[in-house]
Amino acid sequence: MERIVSALTRPSVGSIRCMPQFKLATRGGHRAHPESFLNASSSNYIDEMYEQWSKDPQSVHKSWDLYFRHQHYQRPPTLGVTPPPPALLQYYQMTGFTQQQPVSMVPQHQSHLQPMSGYGTGVQELPLDRKAIQDHMAVQALVRSYQMRGHKIAQLDPLGLSSVDLDSERPNDLTYTFYNFSEADLDRKFALPPITFIGGQEKELTLREIIRRLEDVYCQTIGLEYMYINSYEKCNWIRQRFEDQAQRKLGVKDIERAVKRLIRASKFEDYLKRKWSSEKRFGLEGCEALIPAMKMVIDTAANQGVDTVIMGMPHRGRLNVLANVTRKPLEELFCQFDPKLEPSDVSGSGDVKYHLGTCIERLNRASNTNVKFALVANPSHLEAVDPVVQGKTRAEQFYRGDKFGDKAMSILLHGDAAFAGQGVVYETFHLSDLPAYTTHGTIHIICNNQIGFTTDPRMARSSPYCTDVARVVNAPIFHVNADDVDSVLHVAKVAAEWRCTFKKDVVIDLVCYRRHGHNETDEPMYTQPFMYKKIHKQPPVLKKWVDKLISEGTIKREWYEAEEAKYDKILNDAFTNSKSPAYAKDKNWLDSPWKNFFTGKG
């Protein structure tokens, strides 16, 4: 109490005039010690200031307000015990702490200022249980640690071979012993802090149940990175979407629709492999969940008013996206596998089938609205298409007067190695919020098959995740195990809602594997023998998910087999029709068609 001046609460020059003047006594020409701050005159003055402040904080200078507010002043015995700060009072009310024997707020070194018996108190002394406060604060810190670092121990790899963030260590702060809890504390109940939604309608849970629910949300097949976002509102929005289990449930119709889409994605690849086994097609096997994920994104956005979706992607999975997302006629795709057909035979393109795009408008059954799909053609340079898609989307929004991106939206697909390795990705992210270039949010989906051609991630990047470049624009990143289709669908839905709500970029990291080599003629056992031994034993995601749904009683096996047979017939009919010469010279590869583009001959 001898020094009232601190870095935070030093009284301003203007207030010094109102404070008692402390004169230095001199003795023999030398300065003596200054007058004690709490002598009879100055202490009375401060008591008066405090009494005035306690009635109305605005009636004193701001420096005195800060001084009293931050507990630098001990009330004299006649005024009672200094009350706790407002934040602590609020915490008491929230947690409902009680204690049999009240403990004084006065620090031990100031015990000589505690009120003597017989003196009245101006403010009622509140009960204080220091151990309870520490434990509740520790629970809040534990919750926050899971929200920040739970993704580091999430089960993201479908193969179970490695940690996706290249670090197999479990963070110390994700264990209850780090916070001085023992096993005996696991069944104690704690009030849930306001930064979490794991309780639902419950206000308090046992420590054991708190940890279990946090593990279910943050450490299973979804890994969330969002706590670096500089907005409490946005962080809370994400927490609520993932921590509230009621929001993760899908209706039976949604599940059946997703099963049909996964059937199409899987059986399309099987059919191409069976008919053209030696052809390069850069198939999607190992990441078939991409198709229902993209369709869920489009359905959710279309329900919120989006009617134009412009997409860019590399060659991996392009034929499947053309067939099952844009619904380009299968006959036009199959005819391009004709060995007699040269690339130059396709009108105006001169390129291979897995580099071409399309533009199609059709009915979206989930929203019952027409949606235009444009898949931009892309050469082998993987990410070169990113700024092209953004420019095309921006132009669409500009000419339609779509000032906030409510009608036109972009989706960019990436490979894990290219997303981390190509500079154009970083450059495109930095266009995302510029007034003259923004497209009001892009949904990025990464087919993370954990390999770049033949390069292991540990030899390909220095960052923990391939997605870390997206953190520069505060984009939330949702890692998800692509073999858990339920989680994939939930993540896709939340990502689309985020984009439509906040008009900001978002990243979905589909952690999957590549069932074959870089292309179907490569033999990956030479370069990744351990990984591919595991892949050869891995059941397809369609079989895993359908078996789970049938065992739960969500769908019936007869229904599934009927849907499978229906799509097989569609494929066979399209193959038969594709032999017609009418499909060989098509112009449907154009991603921006307009009238009279081709005129006359040639």
Flag whether pLDDT at 501 surpasses 80.
yes
Look at residue 214 in the predicted model and tell me its pLDDT: 97
* Residue of 245, 124, 231, 172 whose CA lies nearest to 502: 231
Model-level pTM? 0.78
The average pLDDT across 256-267 equals 96
Residues linked to residue 327 through DSSP beta bridges, in sequence order: none
Q: Nearest 5°: CA angle at 471, between 470 and 472?
A: 90
Q: How far apart are CA 200 and CA 257, in angstroms?
A: 29
Maximum C-alpha span of the chain = 117
Flag whether pLDDT at 532 surpasses 90.
no
Q: How far apart are CA 100 and CA 92, in angstroms?
A: 15
* Other Cβ atoms within 10 Å of 242 Cβ, number: 21
- What is the average pLDDT score of the chain? 81
Look at residue 112 in the predicted model and tell me its pLDDT: 40
Look at residue 5 in the predicted model and tell me its pLDDT: 37
- The Cβ-side half-sphere exposure at 419, using a 13 Å CA radius, reads 27
Look at residue 101 in the predicted model and tell me its pLDDT: 38
* Other Cβ atoms within 10 Å of 58 Cβ, number: 7
Q: Extract the tokens encoding 442.
A: 């892009």
pLDDT interval class at 281 (50, 70, 90): confident
User: Which amino acid type is present at position 330?
Assistant: L
pLDDT interval class at 527 (50, 70, 90): confident
Q: How far apart are CA 227 and CA 342, in angstroms?
A: 52
Residue pLDDT, tens place only, 543-587: 999 999 999 999 999 999 999 999 999 999 999 888 877 665 555
Look at residue 425 in the predicted model and tell me its pLDDT: 94
Look at residue 139 in the predicted model and tell me its pLDDT: 95
Please tell me whether residue 99 adopts helix, strand or coil conformation: coil
Residue pLDDT, tens place only, 174-198: 999 999 999 999 999 999 999 999 9
pLDDT interval class at 509 (50, 70, 90): very high
The DSSP string of 48-62 is: HHHHHHHH-GGGS-H
Residue boundaries of the structural domains of the chain: 131-221, 251-588
**Beta carbons of 170 and 215 less than 8 angstroms apart:** no
Cβ neighbourhood burial of 418 (10 Å; 0-12, 13-18, 19+): buried
Please tell me whether residue 583 adopts helix, strand or coil conformation: helix
Q: Nearest 5°: CA angle at 488, between 483 and 489?
A: 130
Q: Extract the tokens encoding 11.
A: 């009284």
Distance from the Cα of residue 328 to its chain's centroid: 32
Q: Nearest 5°: CA angle at 506, between 243 and 592?
A: 140
* Residue of 491, 409, 392 whose CA lies nearest to 448: 491
Q: Extract the tokens encoding 583.
A: 């499909």
* Other Cβ atoms within 10 Å of 234 Cβ, number: 17
The average pLDDT across 136-165 equals 92
Look at residue 61 in the predicted model and tell me its pLDDT: 82
Q: Extract the tokens encoding 91.
A: 């915490």
**Beta carbons of 174 and 145 less than 8 angstroms apart:** yes
Tell me if the domain spanning 131-221 has CATH number 1.10.3260.10: no
Cβ neighbourhood burial of 269 (10 Å; 0-12, 13-18, 19+): buried
Residues linked to residue 26 through DSSP beta bridges, in sequence order: 31
Q: Extract the tokens encoding 435.
A: 């007034």
Distance from the Cα of residue 511 to its chain's centroid: 14
Look at residue 312 in the predicted model and tell me its pLDDT: 93
* Other Cβ atoms within 10 Å of 324 Cβ, number: 27
More confident residue, 104 or 429: 429
**Candidate CATH numbers 3.40.50.970, 3.30.420.40, 3.40.50.300, 3.30.540.10; the one for domain 251-588:** 3.40.50.970
The average pLDDT across 152-164 equals 90
C-alpha to C-alpha distances, 34 to 29, 64, 230, 453, nearest whole angstrom: 15, 22, 48, 77
